[in-house]
Structure 1
Amino acid sequence: MTTQMTTATDPTPRTSRTPRIALVGDRSPHVRSHVRVPMLLDALAERDGLVLDAYWIETPDAAEPDAVKGFDAVWLLPGSPYASEEGALAAIRTAREDGIPFLGTCAGFQHALIEYARDVCGLPRAAHAENDPAADDGDLLIAPLACSLVGHEGPVRVTPGSLAQRVIGAERSTERYHCNYGPDSRHLDTLRAHGMRFTGVDDDGQVRIAELPAHPFFLATLFQPELAGDGTKPHPVVRALAVAAAARAGVHGRSRA
């Protein structure tokens, strides 16, 4: 396959229409999610004919102007605290404003909410407790969870008719987590009022999925779909991002059971 697992920020247009995906995060062999990505890209190519050119962009590089412009998808991966919160938020903002298919998982989910709160909802001080432990409690949008979800697996109830439900293909699924932080419910109504939908919750009603209906493909999950199974069969959320990238690039894959 032609996947390139390199660190790069080159936005130069390519003659090939192979979809290009920006993997944004501070790549580490100690982050399980990062180790899984090459396996998932291979599986997408072999199972579905969804070949992606993948470029890893470290978060400090993502802060550079136009770092993710020209890509057909952006995936903000786990691994927080990021080396550059600014870079993570800049990648999200570009994907959101330019209609680039976007997936944020775990810390990617958390920062997608932060970016939306600051840049769309008029909450410039919206904070993440891991990045800014001294932040005023009233500004915390992402706060420590009452119970850690590191290594946890649990059910998620998905809103019928949502992008998440169409992608997952069911109204209930069991997902894997590896996080200690989640959204503080005090600010969620403000995000809802500005167009964000929360379309997946756990059995206690805690938000686990967010999406933007006005966007071609914008999905964020607190769980880590990249950790599903053994990596040989991509989670439907991961496959859906690849399909959206292919659609943006004007190519099509094949389906295999």
Structure 2
Amino acid sequence: MTSFTARLALVGDRSPSVRSHARVPSLLDALAEREQLVLDAYWIPTEDAGAPDALSGFDAVWLLPGSPYRSEHGAVAAVRAAREGRIPFLGTCAGFQHAVLEYARTVCGLAGAGHAENDPAAPDPVIVPLACSLVGHEGAVTVSPGSLAATVLGAERTVERYHCSYGLDPAHLGVLAAHGLRFTGADDTGDVRIAELPGHPFFLATLFQPELAGDGTRAHPIVRALAAAAVRHAAAPAVRHAAAPVGA
């Protein structure tokens, strides 16, 4: 059976002080050794991610934590490129926040949508300070039956780790949902923790950080699902070529 190596864009401002960044190499090794999911990963700083074709040729995009990003524009552009280009996408922590921000601006038409950490004076903050910071916290998440998240997790309840102080303003839930973004995970108080986009090959965003699960020797199911989606994306051109009739 032919195996494919997928190209993964790790979008974020890489820093040894960000724990999730330090976890990535061991997770990639675990995916290759345990799951035979081989990813050729490249770090792309946010100030480079907004350049034309910055993500061209990649099979998946992972927008990692580490906010405030050096370039909000680059982070939002990475989300848009993955969403519109139908490239498998995962956003964790700040990646979740900026995925929601991109959708609010581009799809919902909320031109003034802002992130309170990046711009405290934003006229229409979609991402706001949490009532209680989740930095260093762990909590339960209930997942919607039949959702991508439930399929990936294999359960409708999970306990996850956080390291964030910002989340979605509930006042914007209605307009985001009306334009197609689906919220499929919430904590025990009903606050949103997972978003996904039906109809996309793989588009998942979590306010929690699945990369921090365990000791780093085995990838979280969400990270494993991104890797599998990336490999499917890498294989797709070859599959289409093999299926094409002679002379096509």
| TM-score, length-scaled by structure 1 | 0.90
Structure 2 CA distance for aligned equivalents of residues 118 and 216 of structure 1: 22
Q: How does 1:82-93 map to 2 (within 5 A)?
A: 82-93=69-80
- 2:39 corresponds in structure 1 to 52
- 2:215 corresponds in structure 1 to 230
Structure 2 CA distance for aligned equivalents of residues 73 and 144 of structure 1: 29
- 1:242 corresponds in structure 2 to 227
- 1:143 corresponds in structure 2 to 128
**What amino acid does structure 1 have at the position aligned with 2:134?**
L
User: May I ask how many residue pairs the two structures share in their alignment?
Assistant: 234
| Residues 4, 38 of structure 2: 8 Å contact kept | no
| Residues 5, 37 of structure 2: 8 Å contact kept | no
What secondary structure, in the 3-state scheme, does the structure 2 residue paired with 1:250 have? helix
What secondary structure, in the 3-state scheme, does the structure 2 residue paired with 1:167 have? helix
Structure 1 CA distance for aligned equivalents of residues 44 and 223 of structure 2: 18
Does residue 96 of structure 1 match 2:62?
no
- 2:55 corresponds in structure 1 to 68
- 1:171 corresponds in structure 2 to 156
**What amino acid does structure 2 have at the position aligned with 1:176?**
R
- 1:153 corresponds in structure 2 to 138
Structure 1 CA distance for aligned equivalents of residues 87 and 78 of structure 2: 10
Structure 2 CA distance for aligned equivalents of residues 52 and 117 of structure 1: 31
Shift of 1:67: 0.4
Q: How does 1:173-252 map to 2 (within 5 A)?
A: 173-250=158-235
**Any unmatched runs of 5+ in structure 2?**
237-248
Decide which of 95, 103, 110 is 1:108's aligned counterpart. Answer: 95
Shift of 1:69: 1.7
Shift of 1:18: 1.5
Cα distance per residue 1:8-60 (max 9 Å; x no partner): xxxxxxxx951000000000000000000001000000100111000000000
What secondary structure, in the 3-state scheme, does the structure 2 residue paired with 1:141 have? strand
| Residues 76, 98 of structure 2: 8 Å contact kept | yes
Does residue 39 of structure 1 match 2:31?
no
What secondary structure, in the 3-state scheme, does the structure 2 residue paired with 1:142 have? strand
**What amino acid does structure 2 have at the position aligned with 1:62?**
A
Structure 1 CA distance for aligned equivalents of residues 232 and 25 of structure 2: 21
| TM-score, length-scaled by structure 2 | 0.93
**What amino acid does structure 2 have at the position aligned with 1:67?**
A
Q: How does 1:5-24 map to 2 (within 5 A)?
A: 17-24=4-11
Structure 2 CA distance for aligned equivalents of residues 150 and 21 of structure 1: 27
Structure 1 CA distance for aligned equivalents of residues 111 and 16 of structure 2: 34
What secondary structure, in the 3-state scheme, does the structure 1 residue paired with 2:223 have? helix
Structure 2 CA distance for aligned equivalents of residues 211 and 189 of structure 1: 15
Identity across the alignment (%): 74
Does residue 132 of structure 1 match 2:119?
yes
Shift of 1:70: 1.2
